[in-house]
Amino acid sequence: MAGNPSAAGAVPTAAIRGPVLTFTGDPFRLGLEHTMVHESDAIVAFGDGRVTHFGPADAILPELPAGVPVRDYGPDALISAGFIDSHVHFPQTPMIGAHGAQLLDWLNTYTFPTEGRFVDKAFATSVAKVFLQECLRNGVTTSCVYCTVYPQSVDALFEEAERLGMRLAAGKVLMNRNAPDYLLDTTQSGYDDSKRLINAWHGRGRLMYAITPRFAPTSTPDQLASAGELWSEYPDCYLQTHVSENTSEVAWVKELFPDRSGYLDVYDHHRLCRPRAIFGHGVHLDDGEMQCLHATGSAIAHCPTSNFFLGSGAFDIGRALRRERPVRVGLGTDLGAGTSFSILATLNEAYKAAQLNHYALTAGHAYYLATRGTANAMYIDDKVGSIAPGMEADIVVLDMKSTPIIRYRMEFVQDFMEALFVQMTMGDDRAVQATYIAGELRYDRAGAG
């Protein structure tokens, strides 16, 4: 991998230097010793939006054309593929940190009234700008995003993401029952609006469309069937929804769909379990449902911060990744029930969720989840999620001594793995020095923007 120009032959126009962490495969399956790459002094060069060179600095520097600028972040940095968020609600940005209650109460009290404001395209655009800037400030370079029932909210988000050059998946919420009238569509209007948005945005630059039934209780069987038909028309889109987040929600689904064997079977019956399906939460899935996700190539978005905030439970990642039937698992902040844009803060909560299920998540495995692992869950690990020639140059640069207490704690670490663990348990947005999107510096802490 190190030192080999990309097959496309792109010429580097810029480079960065510092310690680098990346992954060449799945450490849950193959072990960290075979998949984790840590270079203590490396060069990452990029041109035309892609990585052109990566390897030890002394090997790569002589290969760079004369005059290519190299920004040296120093030995206290850590350069990584950009973080990826597989489950987030951009319209909930204005209500992040709203007093929790439980899931269904929280939706009715805070979420739905806030989402009603997105009928105003100008308001949607203003929130999209804040949302994406916060993503960049936290090193999040790709997200899979829920918009609202209003198609103009999708246009607003995609317009801003396109301006920034970001790789992003998003979609209009489909919701034709069990919500306020002002947030309801119909089966036909939801299909028509989604189809228009797919034709306008999917595959345009780095943008991807996600067909988005909010969750089974807010869609009739007819609407779920329509979503399955739409996906069959556009099979390279995504499908995102929620499943088995909360025990009351699971019981409600059983009341609404008594003929189905369980919550996931509602979606599987309507042909919504396939590759590129991303199911948020999955806290209370049984073994049969896990087997269905494995067999269909569907993924779970693990959202520990949100699960703890709403008291939904602790997702058992060890059970999801069982060797005999591993399920693809990505990481999600799930704003605004999630209370932080920070993937580092999310990893801290993921560690705690694993501990509650008697599974010790290592820092190496956690960083894989935040990058290549979530890219794998989204079927884009051939594009983003790792640093190698030919990959898209979405990169985050961390400061390993970002706060006084972290700087002090780092004096006592014994090795790199312990240093990584300190970052994921104590780090937050202050640790992000820089975020590059397709090789363009889009956030620089030193310049505060």
Last residue of a domain, one of 377, 411, 432: 377
Residue 268 binned pLDDT confidence (cut-offs 50, 70, 90): very high
175-179: average pLDDT = 96
8 pLDDT higher than 50: no
Residues 268 and 178 in one domain: yes
246 pLDDT higher than 70: yes
pLDDT digits (tens, 9 = 90+) for 40-74: 999 999 999 999 999 999 999 999 999 999 999 99
pLDDT of residue 448: 62
Structure tokens at 141: 């370079």
Show the CA angle centred on residue 381, arms to residues 379 and 385, nearest 5°: 130
We report the CATH number of the domain holding residue 61 as 2.30.40.10
7 pLDDT higher than 70: no
Residues 47 and 111 in one domain: no
Last residue of a domain, one of 357, 377, 397: 377
Task: Please indicate, yes or no, if residue 173 is contained in any of the structural domains.
Answer: yes
pLDDT of residue 252: 96
DSSP alpha helix (H) spans, 107-246: 112-116, 121-137, 151-164, 187-201, 221-233
The pLDDT > 70 percentage for the chain reads 97
Contact status, residue 92 vs residue 111, Cβ threshold 8 Å: yes
Residues 329 and 438 in one domain: no
Residue 213 binned pLDDT confidence (cut-offs 50, 70, 90): very high
Residue 170, H or E segment: strand 167-171
Contact status, residue 70 vs residue 395, Cβ threshold 8 Å: no
Last residue of a domain, one of 356, 377, 398: 377
449 pLDDT higher than 80: no
Residues 285 and 143 in one domain: yes
CB within 8 Å of 247: residues ≥ 6 apart: 284, 313
Residues 404 and 391 in one domain: yes
Domain hosting 25: range is 14-81+385-447
Residues 227 and 319 in one domain: yes
Residues 90 and 216 in one domain: yes
pLDDT of residue 447: 82
- Domain count of the chain? 2
Rounded to the nearest 10 degrees, what angle do helices 187-201 and 221-233 cross at? 20
Task: Please indicate, yes or no, if residue 1 is contained in any of the structural domains.
Answer: no
Q: Which of these, 86, 61, 24, lies nearest to 306 by C-alpha position?
A: 86
Residues 421 and 364 in one domain: no
pLDDT of residue 1: 40
Residues 296 and 373 in one domain: yes
pLDDT digits (tens, 9 = 90+) for 374-418: 999 999 999 999 999 999 999 999 999 999 999 999 999 999 999
pLDDT of residue 104: 78
